[in-house]
Amino acid sequence: MSNKGSIIYLEEVTVDYDGFKALNNLNLIVEYNELRVVIGPNGAGKTTLLDVICGKTTPASGRVIFGKDINLIGKREDQISALGIGRKFQAPSIYANLTVWENLDLSLKRESKGIFATLMSKPTATEYRTIDEALETIGLKDHPHRLAGSLSHGQKQWLEIGMVILQDPLLLLVDEPVAGMTDKETEQTGLLLQALAEKHAVIVIEHDMEFVRQIARTVTVLHEGAVICEGPVEKVQADDRVREIYLGRQKVAYT
């Protein structure tokens, strides 16, 4: 695999938490418009991987390159967000005391998000339309003025996905989107993510194997901070090491 045309390129990345290596010489390449699913047992470093990409955690060593040649290490979260990386957190992270509409309005991609621009500007007609479309996509068009805190769990997850979509990122990082969702919500979320992957690169972290089978094209398996296997779902599931450390362990747990 070459890094030509990749949207995110991680090379030999190590994150060290006081001696515990959350990521250990990890290498990962994701292409433009790819939907990549990252799986792995608890503590494998999945969330840390996203933290590194979006600037929440600074690695001890290694390179993180966004797009052609933008080095992400040392940049602040909001600067990385402005470059075009959006993140959906594991627990719904929304603004509970703002309305659904205000949540989306704040997230919308704008030229300036500095204090003076936000004090002065009013939403334009185009922006109203963009927000309305997003409301439609995430199934909340009947509730624009409800406080986000009063939404159901699944609706909050969608609202956050909507907020990330409106940032119009080149790369979307999604952490366990279907945790706590009903089967129907899970299925709809899968369709939503697949639709997003048409236009954006998406990295999804997931535990739910059934959901992984529904959406995945390429799966990356992490274990103890490093990639141990990568490929189509079938190949990954057939891999002996993966069965041993991840699927096998799960099987034992379920029987």
Partner 1 sequence: MIAEAADEKPRDGGEGLTFWFLGLVLLIILPALNVLPSDDSWLHVSDFTLNRFGKFLAFAILALGLDLIWGYTGILSLGHGVFFGIGAYCIGMHLMLTIGTESVYGNDLPDFMVWNQVKELPLFWKPFYSFWVAVLGAILVPVFCALIFGFLAFRSRIKGVYFAIITQAVALSAWLVFNRNETNLGGTNGLTDFKQILGFRLSESGTQRALYVITVLALGGAYFLCRWIIQSRAGKVLVAIRDSEQRVFFSGYSPATYKLFVFVVSAGLAGLAGMLYVPQVGIITPGQIGVLPSLEMVIWVAVGGRGTLIGAIIGAVGVNFGRSILTNYFPELWPFFLGGLFIAVVLIFPDGLVGLMRRLTIGSVRKTLGLEKPSAASEGAQP
Contact residues toward partner 1 (CB under 8 A) are 54, 56, 76-78, 81-82, 86-87, 89, 93-98, 102, 105-107, 109-110, 113-115, 118-121, 145-147, 150, 163, 167
DSSP string, 49-64: HHHHHHTSS--SEEEE
Kindly tell me which of 21 and 89 has the beta carbon lying closer to partner 1: 89
Closest CB 107 distance from partner 1, rounded Å = 5
CB 84 within 8 A of CB 171: yes
Closer CB to partner 1, 76 or 241, in the complex = 76
User: Tokens standing for 7?
Assistant: 């949207």
Provide, rounded to whole angstroms, the least separation between the CB of residue 164 and partner 1. Answer: 8
Q: Considering Cα of 123, then 126, then 130, then 136, what sign does the dihedral take? A: positive
CA pair distance 34, 197, nearest whole angstrom: 6
Strand partners, 65: 9, 71
Nearest approach in angstroms of CB 42 to partner 1 is 22
| CA atoms of 254 and 248, how far apart (whole Å) | 10
Residue placing its CB nearer to partner 1 in the complex, 93 or 137: 93
User: How far is it, in rounded angstroms, from Cα 24 to Cα 43?
Assistant: 12
Quote the least distance from Cβ 94 to partner 1, whole Å: 7
Residue length of the chain: 255
**Nearest-approach distance from CB 77 to partner 1, in angstroms:** 4
Closest Cα to residue 66, out of 12, 11, 107, 15?
Answer: 11
CB nearer to partner 1: pick between 61 and 150: 150
For residue 235, give the DSSP letter: H
- Please say which residue, 4 or 145, places its beta carbon nearer to partner 1: 145
CA atoms of 250 and 246, how far apart (whole Å): 6
Q: Least distance in Å: CB of 103 to partner 1? A: 8
C-beta of 146 vs 213, nearer to partner 1:
146
